[in-house]
Structure formats: structure tokens, C-alpha cells
Structure 1
Amino acid sequence: MEGKDRLMYIYGVNPVIEAFKFKEALQELYIAKNRLPKIKELIKLAEKHSVSVKVVDEDFINKRVEGNHQGVLAKIKQKKTITVYDAIRISEESKEPAFFLILDLIEDPQNFGAILRVADAAGVHAVIYQERRSAGIVPSVWKASAGAVWHVNLVEINNIKYAIKELKNVGISVYALEASGERILWECNFTQPLAFVVGSEGKGIRQTVLSMCDEVVKIPMKGMLNSLNVSVAAGVLAFEVLKQRHYRI
């Protein structure tokens, strides 16, 4: 992010391609001179949308971001977050039962970004996360999400416990996904308005957050390990919800 203009860098081909779908999001595009033959599509899009393109040495990009940037860097306007009440309104206007994901202190950008990709694919109305001790919407999360950040409603909040309380106040059931759950995921009825809490791999969901949830459920495990990567687990639960709501046989 840069000063009061709330500009930031994102990198990678897919996140930048997605940025072209949002009017005035892209401010400048930087392309490493040694990658030019492979990314002609980006240059054509930039010309179409009147976005300035600068051909730079790859070191210029390396100094600004970490990770596999594919020779592409863009300066963008920071995506705006919404409030819990905005999220509830969006779910109501969709004419579908509410479906939210609540992330309890997920600090790994790869997991955070992968969950946003799941949220976009499964039609989650919003992803709610805590401002502190979470990865947040940093450049590596944009890259890990393959650009899904652009399409997911994001609620950044001081304390997710407040969000849980407000969701429950309007009749939205809050589930936690933990290995300690009593019922298996697909034994539950997820056709009603709901939110799902997932926690970090290292510590899981905090006990104070678990105590606020209506029910703790689990994914059955047949192997020697008792848990999945949090983004994989989020994918399993999200598509179980989607299956129950739209693809009942």
C-alpha cells in the first residue's frame, strides 16, 4: 500500500487479468522485458483499457514483491472491504440462504488466498476475517487466490466474535469445523442461513470462538492424519453446502 491513495502492488498473470474487469482498478502495469513474448494478452488488455504499460528490468519487480510474479506487476487501487451489515444485506438481496466463511486468525497467505478462491467458486456471500493476526489482503494473497480477491466480498473486522454475535442476532446459524466435532459434515442440514468458522492449522479455532458457535462439525478422516489443510477443508465444506442447496438428487 502507498500512502493516502491506498494504492498497492499485485503480481502474477491471473490476478492482473482479473483486475481489468473492474473499472479504474488498474493504475499502472509493469512487465519484465525478458517476459514480453509470453504475455501479449496483458499488453492488448492494457491498450484496450488505456492502462499505462512500462517495460522494466526484472529486478524492478523483484525489489517490490516476493514470490512467483511471472514478470508481471501492477499498481492498483486497494479493494474496499464491507461491513457485516453490508454482507447480510448482500445475502438477503441474493434471494438465497446466507452463506459466510469466517476465518479465525489464518496467517498463511497461501491458505488465505486459496480459501478466497474456494469462496468465489462456491458462491459464498462474504468472507469475514480479523484485521489483526490474519494474513489480510496482501500481494501474496492476491496471487494465491488467482485473482478471486476481486470477486469475493470481504469483511475486515476488529474481532470476529462481534461478527458471530451479529450474524446470530439475525437468525444465521454459526458452525465450526473442527476434528473434535460430534457430527459429520454431511449429516447436517445446510440449507438454512449459515456461517462456517475455520481456524488456523497450527492452533485451530480458539476456544472462545468455539463457545459461540451453534455446533461443531467434522470431516471424517480414514488416514493416519486427523486433519486437512485449512483451505482444503474449506473447499470440502463449501461444496457440501453447495451440493445440499442446489444439487439434491
Structure 2
Amino acid sequence: MYIYGVNPVVEAFKVPQALKEVFIAKKRILKLKEIIELAEKNSIPVKIVDEAFIEKISQGVHQGVVAKIKPKETITLDDALNIASHKNEPAFFLILDLIEDPQNFGSICRVADAAGVHAIIYQERRSAGLVPSAWKASAGALWHVNLVQVNNIKYAIRALKEHNIKIYGAEAKAEKLYWKSDFTQPMALVVGSEGKGIRQTVLSLCDEVVKIPMKGKVNSLNVSVATSLLAFEVLRQRSKIID
């Protein structure tokens, strides 16, 4: 498994034994001095290579650095439930209904890390998953978010409901505005793919469906942007209670 880009690689140094090897482009040694020093400090092998080698591995905006990493471990749904319990916080999960664009997947992980989401739940099939471009889009946040990979998110939703987790769906055609919902209780937020939204079979399992009001001519936001608005409303409501 390889990741590329400055931020994802720098963040990897914060995770014990995550990095196996770092590759630096010859022409960018001076600009990547920080990464080289971190590698030396952590006894990670560094190889100076032609930029063509890095381009072949990364197939994206690599900034002159690629790293070989150990696979990120996912957690179970039970593990995710325990995280909120151990932190003495009401549960907050994101459920991704077939997000197939790696850029969106990575950006959502970045939002989740910033907003204090306890875990992201996604389906193994027909989801972007942990591909290199998702790591790049996350700016390294993928190292710090808890991921639950399941065979079927509908089963996962039912399991969460058995633990009194309220399920919210984000849907453009919903009647209720998202800021009028109570996000202070244990909850999971379902977001769907940008093209099709949440599948009807998944939407039917949601306890409440909310929307972001739109006044422009384009009737939807990018899914990662929409997730950001919703996630930070959760954080706002919960911070208000703490204050």
C-alpha cells in the first residue's frame, strides 16, 4: 500500500510502525527536508529516486514524495460503540452509503477528524475505500479516524438502532431543515453518493430525514461539503450544551 503527498506522509510519522519506506524525488530533496529528517529520526528507510518512479506509483499530485505503509486497520461496530462510551460522549457516527469517489471519501474523513466523529461506517463493496487518492484528499486525516467496514450498511444501521442510536438521513427532498433537529443525542448521520443520494432502502431505515436549504440554481452540494455543514452543526449543538 502506498500513499503520496506531504501531509499524508507527515501524518504517518505520528502513527507507530505505520511507515515502511519513503521515496523522495531527486529534484525536491531541499523542499522535503522535514520528511527526510523525520524518517532519519524514526529509522525509516529513505530512497532518493527519479520523479518518474514516483509518478508511476502515485498517479496524482504527489509533491515529490511517496511512502510505503502498512495497511490501516479497521475496527468493528462494537469497537466503535465503545469509543463513545469510553469518552463519555453521545455517539456520533457517519454512515457512507456507497461513496465511490475517492476524493469525496478522503474529504469526508478529513471532516470527520475535525468534527469529532467517533467512527465512519462504510460498505466494503461499491465504496471508494482506502485507495491512495483518498489518503491524499484526507490530508492525512485517514490516519486518525476510526473506520468500520461492513458487508451491508443496512444491517449496521439496524444494529445501531438496537443500541438506541438515532439515524438521520441527509436528503435534498426532505422537509425538515437540519438545524432544527436535535443532534445532541446519540446519533448516526447517513450521507449518500453525489449522483444518486441515499438509496431508498437505506432511507427507509432512517428515523429522521433532514435537508440543507438551497437558494441557488444548483440544487445540491458536493457530498463532502454537505457532510461538513451537518457534522459541524452536530459539534455546535453539543458544544453549546457543554458551555
TM-score range with shorter-chain normalisation?
over 0.9
2:59 to 41, 56, 66: 66
Which residue of the partner structure matches residue 108 of structure 2?
115
What SS does structure 1 have at the residue aligned with 2:148? Answer: strand
State the alpha-carbon separation in 2 of the partners of residues 17 and 210 from structure 1. 38
Distance 2:182 2:75 in 1: 28
Distance in 2 separating the partners of 1:75 and 1:98: 34
Which of 176, 179, 200 lines up with 2:172 in the alignment?
A: 179
1:52 aligns with 2:45: yes
- Determine helix, strand or coil for the equivalent of 2:29: helix
> Secondary structure, in 3 states, of the residue corresponding to 1:68?
coil
Residues 1:192 and 2:195 are matched in the alignment: no
| Distance in 1 separating the partners of 2:41 and 2:240 | 40
Aligned Cα root-mean-square deviation (Å): 0.8
Q: Is residue 144 of structure 2 the alignment partner of residue 151 of structure 1?
A: yes
Separation in 2, partners of 1:182, 1:163: 26
The residue number in structure 1 matching 2:96 is 103
**Structure 2: how far apart are the matches of 1:97 and 1:52?**
42
Q: Secondary structure at the match of 1:17?
A: helix
Q: What TM-score do the two structures reach when normalised by structure 1? A: 0.96
Residue ranges of structure 2 left out of the alignment (5+ in a row): none
Question: Could you say which residue in structure 2 is the equivalent of 1:38?
Answer: 31
Show the counterpart of 1:127: 120
Opposite residue 180 of structure 1, the aligned amino acid is K
Map of 2:225 onto structure 1 = 232
TM-score (norm 2): 0.98
Residue 3 of structure 1 aligns with which residue? Answer: none
CA deviation after TM superposition for structure 1 residue 247, in Å: 2.9
User: Which segment is superposed worse, 96-105 or 218-227?
Assistant: 218-227
Tell me what 1:78 maps to.
Answer: 71
Q: In structure 2, how many angstroms separate the alpha carbons of the residues matched to 1:200 and 1:223?
A: 21
The one-letter code matched in structure 2 to 1:47 is E
What code does the residue aligned with 1:199 have? G
Q: Which amino acid aligns with 1:229?
A: N
Q: Give the SS at the match of 1:235.
A: helix
Gaps of 5+ in 1: 1-7
Q: Is 1:92 equivalent to 2:115 in the alignment?
A: no
Q: 1:92-134, CA deviations, whole angstroms, 9 ceiling, x for partnerless residues?
A: 1111100000000001111110000000000000000010100
- For each residue in 1:5-43, what CA deviation from the matched residue of structure 2 results, as whole angstroms up to 9, or x when unmatched? xxx100000000000001111000000001111110001
**Partner of residue 208, structure 1:** 201
The runs of 4+ residues in structure 1 deviating greater than 6 Å are none
The one-letter amino acid of 2:172's match is A
Q: What is the DSSP-based 3-state SS (H/G/I as helix, E as strand, rest coil) of the residue aligned with 1:223?
A: coil
1:20 aligns with 2:24: no
SS in 1 for 2:58: coil
Partner Cα separation in structure 2 for residue 78 and residue 127 of structure 1? 17
State the 1:61 CA deviation: 1.1
